[in-house]
Structure 1
Amino acid sequence: MPWWFVWGAALLMGGGPLSFWSCQSPSLRAGKLYLQQQKFDLAIEQLEQAVGEDSTSGEAYYHLGRANGLAGYYVEMVVAFDRSLALSGRFETQIKEERLHYWTRLYNDGVRIASMRQPQLEQARTKFRLATKIIPSRLLAWKNLGIAQYSLGEIDEAITTFEHVTLFSRNDTVSLRTLGTLYLQQRRDQDAIEVFERALLQVEQLGTLTNLAVAHTRLGHLDDAEKTYLRALETNQDHWQSHYNLGSLYWQRGRLNDAREAFERAVELNPDDIDARHNLAAAYLGLNLLDEAFPLLEMLVQDMPNNASLWRELARVYDHRGMVEESRMAHERATEFGE
């Protein structure tokens, strides 16, 4: 099952009971009879006539809602139920049961469809959206709707959905982090900062701190970014990417010694990362520590043999070390690949 459909199945409940007849219009009686016979379109026709004849009949609207639900017309069902409740509380219990019944069915169908080996995300999105209309206050369907929208590339729609979730569930750190990440993806960095800070009021979380620092950096809040990266490292001193990000920030601020130390730690923790090794070599070169840069450059030209800049810097180090033939070959490579 994909990680993002983590909200489990809900308990499916049965529909509401039938009501006894009282003094009713012929169209209402006919509509209820068609309901018993499972002729739902005919029932809807008669019940629409009934509410046309008596727009104050909460019972007629209730049965019209039932007929629409059984026929699969869920939006029309909600409209009829809402009208019934506005007129009378007589069917409130039955309507709650009906709503839960259909919400649960649609929600579970959406999870099942989205969790298949080949997910049908458009269908799942439709199921979740209908569930949100049936019981708007149940946020599980909203969350999965937002994730389905994101997975379909509907980023603006996903943002709107998660804004709704976080409006009514203000301490939901998972949804806050998701919304902040979506803002970050859209380069709405100030919005991302506000949402990430709300999430951090609940718990210090490494990923949230990292993303918050990225947003601060992009807005030029470099002091805030540095403090945030240091907070991230307090949660996990061995998180190599935080050291790497901090090194990049120090480099941006011209603090080359601090950048070197941060990149050294990043490479120590993740020696296979090419970017970390590349940036450490750049820090060494920036500090004129050519001997320290030498082994990194020799490895990097193996990883990126078409990178002219690396060959040029390696040629410079070869010159420094008196390796004339190696320097000549490195210069040739730099020329071959563009410099």
Structure 2
Amino acid sequence: MNVSTFTRLAGLLLVAGFFYSCGSSGANLDELIANNNYQKALTEIDSRLDENPSQPALYIQRGEINAELARETDPELRAEFYTKTADDFNSAIEYDASESQLSTIDSLRQQYWKDEHNAGLRISENEAVSERYQRSEIHFQNALILRPDAVSSYRNLSVAQFNLGEIDEAITSLETALDYADEPSAELYENLGYLYLEKGNPAEAAQYYELANTNMEDDLNLAFGLINAYISNGNSAEAANMLETLVDENPQNANLRNVYGTQLYEITSDILEELKTAYSDNNSELTEDLRAEAEEMGQEAEEHLIEAFKRDTSNTKYLESLAVFYNNLASQYLALTKVSFENDRTALRQKAYTLIDFAIEYYEKLIDIDPNNDEYGDKLEVLKKLKERQTVSANN
């Protein structure tokens, strides 16, 4: 062999040696994984991807390994591994995974998601409530790393967060679910309405309840949620409109009648405030209309409150509603006598004292049921003093 040939061969050997030393170790990945030698397997995969990142199969294998490592750790430590799994599956897709590989990715993603989601659902009922919801929250959060479009996981996560007192987080979870839902269910809107009501945002709550757009007569829970939103937002007129329909559909429902009567009183109260202003403005035509309107609305409120009590005479709440109704309405009519026209004053005062008589009657009934209730006793004492004042005034 002459020198030039030797030199050429040596150069080839050096080149081959260079590529060999920088290339794969040739380790058997399947064997490493089968022996649970995950760290060496990960090192080998990283090395091969450094050489050539366009290898979807390796990303899938690395994703599987990280998912297995996640399963071997406590739930609260799995997020890092699952994030790597999700990133690897996405990388495999970016590097033009084949149809078969895409199918594998979907299958694995679904499997890992399902395991975490179901683990969240299976949390033992025997554990302390706070621990139960903390653990389920972690599982659902893990599940969503693997499938960030899983509406059911967001909904269950929101339940856990709500029970942990994390209202803002629960709202965020449901609103994210809303973004991923192709056809949001009425229940999803209803739950958001409820959470915003719990947060103290009745306007937003009403918006979501309205989006539920279901037949209120067929879903009383949804109807009550929307009504509560209207009431909390001070919108008695809208609440009363809904309640009127519900009472017509459910005439024997005492609670509906009681709430309806209460909202009609709120409307009556607003009318009486307008009447006070009209008297102050010396608007005789408007005062006449408002007096008639207040009388009519107040009578309707009274009828429904009485009907509620008739349907459940053992319910102290309905009895108290009547007592408060008569007491408050009497106060408003007495206040009107201070600003009313002279011609109206006698009728307004008489109306007030008639209401006081009814208020006394119902507070006495309440005291018979609960004689140690100081609030009832104080109210009754004030009412009786007002009654005595009327008697003295009449005799004079």
TM-score band w.r.t. shorter chain: 0.7 to 0.9
The one-character-per-residue Cα deviations of 1:229-266 (angstroms, maximum 9, x if unpaired) are 22332443333222222222122222432222121122
How far is 1:271 from its partner? 2.9
- Residue 264 (structure 2) aligns with: 250
Partner deviation per Cα, 1:286-337 (whole Å, 9 max, x = no partner): 362556545532332242623245444267459969xxxxxxxxxxxxxxxx
Higher helix share: 2
Determine if contact 2:186/2:214 at 8 Å carries over to the other structure: no
Classify 1:202/1:98 alpha carbon distance in 2 versus 1 (closer, same or farther; 3 Å).
Answer: farther
**Alpha-carbon distance between aligned partners in 2 of 1:110 and 1:36, rounded to the nearest angstrom:** 29
For residues 27 and 232 of structure 1, the distance between their equivalents in structure 2, rounded to whole angstroms, comes to 76
Match of 2:40 among 42, 47, 53: 42
Matched, 1:194 2:207: yes
5 Å-filtered alignment, 1:260-275, equals: 260-275=302-317
Residue 13 of structure 2 is matched in structure 1 by none
Match of 2:232 in 1: 218
For residues 118 and 163 of structure 2, the distance between their equivalents in structure 1, rounded to whole angstroms, comes to: 18
Give the counterpart of 1:97 among 107, 116, 122: 107
Matched residue, 2:222:
208
| TM-score using structure 2 length | 0.67
Deviation at 1:140? 1.6
Q: CA RMSD in A?
A: 2.7
Tell me, yes or no, if structure 1 residue 109 matches structure 2 residue 119: yes
The answer as to whether partners of 2:149 and 2:177 remain within 8 angstroms in 1 is no
Q: 1:50 to 1:317 in 2, by over 3 A?
A: same
SS at match of 2:123: helix
SS in 2 for 1:253: helix
Give the aligned residue type for 2:46: E
The equivalent position to 1:179 in structure 2, one of 157, 175, 192, is 192
Task: Give how far 1:121 is off.
Answer: 1.3
Change (3 A) 1:229 1:305: same
Deviation at 1:174, TM superposition (A): 1.7
Quick one: distance in 2 between partners of 1:46 and 1:215? 59
Using the alignment, how far apart are the partners of 2:91 and 2:212 within structure 1? 39
Cα deviation code 1:70-99 (max 9, x no counterpart): 111212111111111111222111111111
Alignment of 1:224-243 (within 5 A): 224-243=238-257
Aligned to 1:87: 95
Which residue pairs with 2:374 in the alignment?
A: 307
Amino acid at match of 1:70: E
Cα deviations by residue, 1:127-159 (Å, 9 ceiling, x for unpaired): 111112212333221111110111111100100
Deviations 1:36-85 (A, max 9, x none): 21222332233233323322221211111011011112121111111111
Tell me, yes or no, if structure 1 residue 143 matches structure 2 residue 155. yes
* CA displacement at 1:201 relative to structure 2: 3.7
Identity across the alignment (%): 21
C-alpha distance in 2 between matches for 1:304 and 1:137: 59
Query: Where does residue 344 of structure 2 map in the other structure?
Result: none
Q: Could you say what secondary structure the match of 2:193 adopts?
A: helix
Q: 1:203 to 1:81 in 2, by over 3 A?
A: farther
Please say if residues 363 and 379 of structure 2, whose CA atoms lie closer than 8 Å, have aligned partners that are also in contact: no
* Aligned mates of 1:27, 1:69 — CA distance in 2: 24
| TM-score, L = length of structure 1 | 0.78
Match of 2:173 among 161, 164, 185: 161
Q: Number of matched residues?
A: 297
In 1, Cα distance between equivalents of 2:96 and 2:151:
27
Instruction: Kindly indicate whether the alpha-carbon contact (under 8 Å) linking 1:256 and 1:283 is maintained by their aligned counterparts in 2.
Output: no
User: 2-side partners of 1:53 and 1:165: how far apart?
Assistant: 40
**Structure 2 CA distance for aligned equivalents of residues 221 and 28 of structure 1:** 74
Q: Which amino acid aligns with 2:304?
A: A
Bigger mean CA offset, 287-296 vs 88-97:
287-296
Aligned partner letter, 1:113: I
Q: Which runs of 5+ in 1 are unaligned?
A: 1-24, 322-339
* Cα distance in structure 2, aligned partners of 1:220 and 1:272: 30
Q: 1-side partners of 2:241 and 2:178: how far apart?
A: 26
Does 2:363 correspond to 1:297?
A: yes
Residues 1:76 and 2:84 aligned together: yes
1:279, CA displacement in angstroms?
1.7
Give the letter for the 1:163 counterpart. E
